[in-house]
Structure 1
């Protein structure tokens, strides 16, 4: 195992190490405005209220949240902390996955707001996990959708609901 690890770094050969500079204020400042504007647009699409948006962002004070929104709408500089950017990144990943899995934005939004029987959702809509205020809730939904994108699990769509797996009797040899 030691020969698979880059000397002194603890990182396997061929795997790029995460650079600490990605969390530097200058980098976070560069990303914060566009990230928050995109987050707000997605929240509009998902029909999330202010309280839900604040929960997704980790419960910033209402005045802090409103100041952030004002600043990014005026295209002024803002620097969000790494936790808030990670949460926004999870929302972007969820939005992207819904765009891949569903043919229309509305179908993806409907999926978010519809009760789901997968164990992680416990019969509740995924949006409840997204807005529960924890980074884990966001990442659980993101991982579920990433797995669905990879074919591991997803409820069948209308076209596939009536599909019956092939049997040996269906195979024709010539």
Structure 2
């Protein structure tokens, strides 16, 4: 089986490579969800404009554990939505659709998650994962 290698990853610290891959996935999702810079920054925990700009260059950089956790939740939500809805368009629309379901209580999932807390990201992921079992 052929191994695929990132040409830019030779000699890069594994933690830095992990950060690069996580940020790449995160920003690809943000593009699909049409997140503003403010929304992206809030999903990452309210990072500064400077930090967000640096992250958007997809550096090979070790990320804080909480940042990786946040990105993991976003990836899980994205995966759950893609499983629940037959098209990317519908899945991406759902993240912005207001719902009275708990925990969102009239907000869209993206609005709810953009309030910045790690707990809200966890709850949103738990919600969408639970929908997959219905």
**TM-score, normalising length: structure 2:** 0.86
Cα pair 1:39 1:91 within 8 Å, conserved = yes
Deviation at 1:143, TM superposition (A): 0.1
Runs of 4+ aligned residues of structure 1 deviating over 3 Å after TM superposition are none
Please list every run of 5 or more consecutive structure 2 residues that lacks an aligned counterpart in the other structure: 1-12
- In 2, Cα distance between the equivalents of 1:137 and 1:118? 14
Please list every run of 5 or more consecutive structure 1 residues that lacks an aligned counterpart in the other structure: 1-25, 152-174
Q: How does 1:1-174 map to 2 (within 5 A)?
A: 26-70=13-57, 72=58, 76-151=59-134
- In 1, Cα distance between the equivalents of 2:124 and 2:96? 13
Larger radius of gyration: 1
- In 1, Cα distance between the equivalents of 2:60 and 2:106? 41
Please state whether the residue corresponding to 1:139 is helix, strand or coil: helix
**TM-score, normalising length: structure 1:** 0.67
How many residues are matched? Answer: 122
CA displacement 1:129-148 (0-9 Å, x = unmatched): 12111111111110001111
Determine which structure has greater relative contact order: mean sequence separation of CA pairs < 8 Å that are 6+ residues apart, divided by chain length. 2
